[in-house]
């Protein structure tokens, strides 16, 4: 392998860097697309870390928003679990 690299003409490393850079850009685009399709970019995710014990530390509006976001997330989770169960039932 070392002998092969020594026989390459000058300037071959730029092509290696271009290929690696292209792969990194492709992987980044794929990751962003995957995140967008799988609901990973949710601005309200910050409200899910709060629990009932945090009510006294929050403004009433923030607490109401956190409960609303939690209810939406639980409903979406139930919906996705039902879809998955339906897919499993169809495949068997």
Give the per-residue pLDDT at 76. 92
Share of the chain above pLDDT 90, in %: 58
Between 84 and 8, the higher pLDDT residue: 84
pLDDT band at 77 (very low <50, low <70, confident <90, very high): very high
Q: For residue 50, count other CB atoms closer than 10 A to its CB.
A: 18
| pTM score, whole prediction | 0.60
Read off the DSSP letter of residue 44. Answer: G
Average pLDDT along the chain: 90
Position 1 scores a pLDDT of 67
**Nearest in space to 50 (alpha carbons), one of 69, 37, 32, 29:** 69
């Amino acid at each position: 392998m070392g002998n092969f690299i020594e026989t390459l003409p000058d300037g071959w490393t730029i092509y290696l860097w271009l290929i690696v850079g292209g792969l990194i850009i492709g992987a980044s685009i794929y990751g962003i697309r995957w995140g967008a399709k799988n609901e990973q970019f949710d601005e309200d995710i910050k409200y899910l870390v709060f629990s009932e014990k945090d009510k006294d530390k929050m403004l009433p509006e923030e607490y109401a928003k956190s409960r609303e976001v939690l209810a939406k997330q639980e409903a979406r989770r139930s919906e996705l679990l039902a879809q998955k169960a339906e897919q499993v039932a169809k495949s068997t």
